[in-house]
Structure 1
Amino acid sequence: MNRITFAVALCGLLMVGFAQADDCRPQLPKLLDQAYPGQAQGQQLHDERGNFWLSAELSICKVWPARPHLTLLAVSLMRTEENGYGESDLEVLVLDSISQTIVARHVEPNLLDWDAIFVYGLEIDTAPYRLREGDLAFGIRVKRRNMSRPNPVYETSLSLYELQSQRLRSVLSGLVMESSGGEWDTRCAGQFTETKGLLVITEHAGNKGYHDLLLKQKRVESRMAEVAGECKSVEESTRRVQFRLEYDELRYLLPIEFSPV
């Protein structure tokens, strides 16, 4: 085998290896055991914040495409669970893809708390968030919903994390990217609102070299009614707005419009 043929074959093997490694779901139980010894036996675990247990349904992992030697892990740490109410932290971990040892970890206290609106899914967002020169962030999207048919609510929020050496930290927390909701008669008639956002990294470098972010939102309001025996949209309006997010001393500040009332 000549050098060219060998190089092509080696490249192919590496690509296959990375493609297989990208789906880390089969390794998830082992990754959780590595990060939380004793959890597989159903033991209640303990850290500096007190007792907790893992939610396997809300634990996900993904090989970081831009840095395939690293694997990202997001886990829900359940603190309290009662009827219709619960407290839960989000822990984000970065592991070595080969040895599966922990490189860095970071806990977001109470980020996954719920009451009438609960967390039903997590998603690791590995879009190339180049917030400043030499740095690359990744995101965790938290999906929430309620259980009401006449008054449905859905929401997806985004948090961004930055790995520097062996330190993982949050640079953006809880930015609502998508939401929808409304009130209807469960058959047709009702009013609905849907909002979708797109996050853009601008060219303007602000504090500490972090680029300003621009959230572009599209908001659609509609009214449905039964017309001639068919359910149709009888009124619809679309509004587009933009919000600029600037980096403060530690993280990006959310627009005042996103502050809870």
Structure 2
Amino acid sequence: MNRITFAAVLCGQLMAGLAQADDCRQHMPTWLERAYPGHVQGQPLHDERGSFRLDDEQSICKVWPARPHLTLLAVSLLRTEEDGHGESDLEVLVLDSVSQAIIARHVEPNLLDWDAIFVDGLEFDTAPYRLREGDLAFGIRVKRRSMSRANPFYETSLSLYELKEPHLRPVLSELVMDRSGGEWDTRCAGEFSDTRGVLVITERLGNKGYHDLLLKQTRTDSRAEMVAQECETVEENLHRQQHRLEYDEQRYLLPIELVPI
């Protein structure tokens, strides 16, 4: 294949990918209606867990780049909503991109509950998570934040899912990847912490052929105060640490220090 032909093919693939992304967003209402018969914005639905309604604004979709014949959906099922807090499940669905038939679905009860810390958005993570030979997982990142200006807080957690038609199951749940927060006087003086993580698939094979995972974290702690009428960072410390995650019988186990509180 010459360079011109290769460039044309590459451009065609890119345009097809963009078209699929557009189709994904355009087809969301139809898919939701098909997955949840009778769905109308605000109308309650019912399942074995009780009544719920779909949170259309929180729900997302994405054509799986590694498997473009499949489309991924993440849907927020709102169970209860009161002043300042609520309960919401996350349902993950996999669809055939052509026929739009539902191939697999899985509900994560109460994964999107909120109170002072609320869910700020969902995002598919379709990096090539080859956890074992012949398998490819995809991820969903849940973003959370607080509404407090004096005590800001932001967090992103990652869950990984493995498709074995007709089943979809979680293999990693709520691993905190990024977190930042602090306490300050809303003008300058305060203490802050910012943690960023990278998940690495190691070469070591563990139980049932699943590779061990390694979470590499970098945390920056800082303190700010007014100096000569200027707000300055007067102290900053950098910390690096690693956590190994091993596969048990059904999923990766989180070290105790990484288990969500």
TM-score bracket relative to the smaller structure: over 0.9
Q: Is this contact kept in 2: 1:183–1:191, CA < 8 A? A: yes
Change (3 A) 1:249 1:217: same
Q: Is this contact kept in 1: 2:159–2:172, CA < 8 A? A: yes
**Secondary structure in 1 aligned to 2:81?**
strand
User: Equivalent residues in 2 for 1:214-229 (5 A)?
Assistant: 214-229=214-229
Q: Distance in 2 between matches of 1:215 and 1:190?
A: 29
For structure 2, the residue ranges without an aligned partner over 5 or more in a row are none
Q: Is this contact kept in 1: 2:41–2:54, CA < 8 A? A: no
Report whether the alignment pairs 1:17 with 2:16.
Answer: yes
Given the two structures, how large is their TM-score scaled by the length of structure 1? Answer: 0.93
1:136 maps to which residue? 136
Q: Is this contact kept in 2: 1:212–1:246, CA < 8 A? A: yes
**Secondary structure in 1 aligned to 2:40?**
helix
**Bigger CA drift: 61-70 or 225-234?**
225-234
Q: Is this contact kept in 2: 1:106–1:169, CA < 8 A? A: yes
Change (3 A) 1:117 1:8: closer
CA offsets 1:181-207 (integer angstroms, 9 cap, x no match): 100011111100011110000000100
Q: Distance in 1 between matches of 2:9 and 2:235?
A: 59
Q: Distance in 2 between matches of 1:61 and 1:90?
A: 13
Q: Distance in 1 between matches of 2:42 and 2:165?
A: 33
Amino acid at match of 1:207: N
Count of residue pairs the alignment pairs up: 257
**Secondary structure in 2 aligned to 1:253?**
coil
User: Equivalent residues in 2 for 1:176-191 (5 A)?
Assistant: 176-191=176-191
Amino acid at match of 1:16: M
Offset of residue 30 of structure 1: 1.7
1:258 maps to which residue? 258
Given the two structures, how large is their TM-score scaled by the length of structure 2? Answer: 0.93
Offset of residue 42 of structure 1: 3.4
% identical equivalent positions:
70
Offset of residue 111 of structure 1: 0.6
Q: Distance in 2 between matches of 1:52 and 1:229?
A: 53
1:52 maps to which residue? 52
Q: Is this contact kept in 1: 2:174–2:260, CA < 8 A? A: no
For structure 1, the residue ranges without an aligned partner over 5 or more in a row are none
Change (3 A) 1:12 1:194: closer
Offset of residue 16 of structure 1: 2.7
Report whether the alignment pairs 1:104 with 2:104.
Answer: yes
Q: CA RMSD in A?
A: 1.9
2:170 maps to which residue? 170
